[in-house]
Amino acid sequence: MAKTASFSMRIDPEVRDDAETIFSSLGMTLTEAINIFLHKSVMVGGLPFDVRNPRYGAETEAAMREARDIMSGKVPSEVYESAEALFAALDG
C-alpha cells in the first residue's frame, strides 16, 4: 500500500499564488497546508471551521450594493476636483 496518494484540483491561479505566499510565510508549502486541512477535517469529522453566510447590517448591505452598482457602471461614481471638494460634499 502506498504511503501517499496524489490528486489534482483546479484553482484560480491568483488564489493559489496568494495562498502560497501566506503558507510560505508560515514555513509550509501549499501541499503541507492542504494536508493539515485534510487531517483536521478528519479529526473533527467535517470542515474545521464554521461555514455560513456573513450577516451585515442594512446600511452595510446598501453600501455594498451601491459599490457593486458603481463598479458595474449602473450608477455613475462621484468625481471631485480636490480633497477639499470631497470633504465639503461629505459635510454637506
Residue 57 backbone phi and psi in degrees, to 5: -70, 165
Q: Is the dihedral of CA 4, 8, 12, 17 positive or negative?
A: positive
pLDDT score recorded for residue 82: 94
Report the alpha-carbon distance of residue 8 to residue 19 in Å, rounded: 17
Q: Is 8 helix (H, G, I), strand (E, B) or coil?
A: coil
pLDDT in tens, the chain (92 residues): 568 889 899 999 999 999 999 999 999 999 999 999 999 999 999 999 998 888 889 999 999 999 999 999 998 888 999 999 999 999 97
Q: Where are the chain's structural domains?
A: 13-44, 58-91
pTM for this model (two decimals): 0.55
